[in-house]
Each structure stands twice: as C-alpha cells, then as structure tokens.
Amino acid sequence: MAVLEDLKNAIITYKPAKAKEYTLQALAEGYEPPQILSEGLIGGMTVIGDKFKRNQIYVPEVLIAAKATHAGLDVLKPLLSERKTKPIGKVIVGTVKDDLHDIGKNLVAMMLEGAGFEVINLGVNVDPDKFIAAIKEYEPDIVGMSSLITSTLHWLEDTIKAIQEVGLRDKVKVMVGGAPVTEEWALQIGADGYGKDATSAVEAARKLVGAA
C-alpha cells in the first residue's frame, strides 16, 4: 500500500511527474487499475478538494493537483477501458453562449474525471443547440453548464428550456454553476444540482448519479 500512499501524496504535493511514476510503479507491483484510481488518484484529489473548500489552497494549486491526477489517469485510462471499468456516470460540461470563461469549468471537468466520471468537455460559448446535439450523441447522465458573467446568466435558463422543448429534459440531470449563480437561482430555473465551487460540483454530481 506504500506506493498508493506515495501516489496520493504526489497529488497533494502537486508533482505530476511523480504521480505518473508512482502510477507505473503501482501497476508494476501488481495493483489493479481501479484500486490505483480510487485509493491513489481520487484519494489525493479528495484531500485537495477538502483543502480548497476550507480556503487553505486556491485555484492555481487545485489546477496543478488536477494536472498531477491527469498524469496518472493518462497511464490508467487505456487499462481501465480495456477492462471495461464502468465510470460512475457520464457528464457533458460547457460554458454557455456568449461566455468565454473556461478555467472554472475546466477545473470542474478535471475534478469530475478524477472522481471517476467520464467527461465530455464542449468548451466555451456553447449555444443551446450544441448542448442538445451533445445530449443526443453522448446520452449523458448529467449536463453541467457554467455562466461566469451576469449578462450570460439567462442562457442557463434558456438552455434548460430548449432541452425541455425537444423532449430530453427527463433524460438528463442538469447542474449549473459559476460566479453569479446562486443556489436559489439554480432552483428557480429548474436545475437539479448546483456547484458553488469545483468541490461542491463534484459532490452534487455524485449525488445526482446516486454515488454520494
């Protein structure tokens, strides 16, 4: 178990190269990929998420930790898909139309992947039609939308309405977040979940797929 502890610490101490090295070492020592993922990578990212929530670290540190998680994930992904290791859920994420902010959304995407979700990142300035096309193509469990400026807030509501109009609303859970978004507003526009920050977004996603 020492190598899994080393892997977890590589993420907590922001060392991508070490995370990759310990992931390879864990495989060489005979650990199964799902165990390496949950005890090493997700274990480390959980500690980072807790620290972020308590304001002990900030976005730059979380991004480096997420990069370290990805260094390990890149090694494990081919093995996990070979074994058909089922992700705990599939999530589409995107920043709404007219909004070009993506740091927060990318952070959420990385942390969702680190928590065992399959993530399809649609990028920024995503209009309702693109969200709808992605729902039809990928059949996700959750659609995550972010709005970072007040002038684009209405696109959250408009996109939910558009998803409803084409008859797909009951097929997906909708999660929203971003600086101007509040929990009250999320409920008002008919969203199923709300993430105040990346950590609570992951918690909300886990609840929505029944994995919390």
Do 95 and 183 lie in a common domain? yes
Domain boundary among 20, 48, 82: 82
CATH of the domain at 68: 1.10.1240.10
Tokens for 61, please give them: 């540190």
Beta strands in 5-159 (DSSP E): 90-95, 118-121, 142-146
For residue 14, pLDDT over 90 is answered with yes
Residue with token string 């007219």: 98
CATH of the domain at 134: 3.40.50.280
pLDDT in tens, 60-115: 898 899 899 989 989 988 887 776 667 899 999 999 999 998 877 888 887 888 78
CA–CA separation, 129 and 209 (whole Å): 24
Do 44 and 128 lie in a common domain? no
Do 112 and 197 lie in a common domain? yes
Domain count, the chain: 2
Domain boundary among 32, 63, 82: 82
Whether the Cβ atoms of residue 174 and residue 163 lie closer than 8 Å to each other:
yes
Domain boundary among 51, 82, 113: 82
Do 10 and 102 lie in a common domain? no
- pTM strictly above 0.85: no
Beta-carbon contacts of residue 38 (< 8 Å; ≥ 6 apart):
116
pLDDT in tens, 126-164: 999 999 999 999 999 999 999 989 999 999 999 999 999
Tokens for 103, please give them: 């740091």
Range of the structural domain that residue 68 is part of? 2-82
Do 51 and 134 lie in a common domain? no
Do 39 and 110 lie in a common domain? no
Do 33 and 104 lie in a common domain? no
Do 112 and 196 lie in a common domain? yes
Do 167 and 101 lie in a common domain? yes
Do 56 and 154 lie in a common domain? no
Whether the Cβ atoms of residue 14 and residue 61 lie closer than 8 Å to each other:
yes
Q: Write down the pLDDT at residue 84.
A: 64
Whether the Cβ atoms of residue 10 and residue 48 lie closer than 8 Å to each other:
no
CA–CA separation, 204 and 186 (whole Å): 13
Q: Chain-wide mean pLDDT for the chain?
A: 91
Do 45 and 113 lie in a common domain? no
Scanning 83-142, the segments in alpha helix (DSSP H) are: 103-114, 128-138
CA–CA separation, 174 and 46 (whole Å): 23
Do 175 and 104 lie in a common domain? yes
Closest of 148, 160, 46 to residue 103, by C-alpha: 148
